[in-house]
Structure 1
């Protein structure tokens, strides 16, 4: 049986890309891989993983992935990934999604921090 392609558009099957990270079998080795797995978690509507990979200082108490008009995530492009300091990194990305048939884009420069060998999403700046 052929594995589904990973929603993060890495070109790899989900089982060899974001699947093991989301399942908790292994931590993301880089901030970019965490970003990709978080995109996949949004596509899968996996709020538990999103909250678990959000840094405690900026994590919301709950995450409501509005079921009344769910987003259909349709594409991810990593524009830049750079280490900004030891255990800190930024990932600029462009994500595309549809809500109610209308296309939208999310362009963000996200900040990540690594603690105890695990990467966490801290926050990000929306870009035009």
Structure 2
């Protein structure tokens, strides 16, 4: 119990402060979720996992990861991320293919930011065995 407030402290509150939830929306810490992909400790096993990790990379402004996971055929030379954009949430609306047994897949999602949202159907392909983002279509 905290002496200042008289309320019980969760034994996990200090750990939660050190290991915040992952921006991708899954109930896991960033370090155990998308952080391992960003650090190159593992590769995203599905197109959806790559989509989530790329969203987290946008939140964290990790341009290197975004470029590294972009298909070589469509990868830009640089991104120029807007430091003023504050991403606020990701909603996966649907997927096709994109599992360990596929070579292509799509993920339809809505990514919210302060003042609006981005609704897209993204295409993914394996390149060198790893999932990569190819391109996407903006939806209404």
TM-score by length of 2: 0.83
1:35 is aligned to 51
1:73 is aligned to 87
Question: Paired residues, what number?
Answer: 122
Output the CA distance in 2 between the equivalents of 1:107 and 1:22.
Answer: 23
Q: In the alignment, is the contact (CA less than 8 A) between 2:71 and 2:127 conserved in 1?
A: no
Shift of 1:29: 0.2
Q: Which has the higher contact order (CA 8 A, sep 6+)?
A: 1
Give every structure 1 segment of 4 or more consecutive aligned residues whose post-TM-superposition deviation is greater than 2 Å: none
Deviation digits for residues 29-86 of structure 1, max 9, x if unmatched? 000000000000000011110000000111111110133xx21000000001111793
**Structure with greater proportional strand content:** 1
Report the aligned-residue RMSD.
Answer: 1.4
Write out aligned runs for 1:16-95 (5 A): 16-67=32-83, 70-83=84-97, 86-95=102-111
Output the CA distance in 1 between the equivalents of 2:49 and 2:28.
Answer: 12
Do structure 1's residue 111 and structure 2's residue 123 form an aligned pair? Answer: yes
Q: Which has the larger radius of gyration?
A: 2
Output the CA distance in 2 between the equivalents of 1:15 and 1:65.
Answer: 22
1:14 is aligned to 30
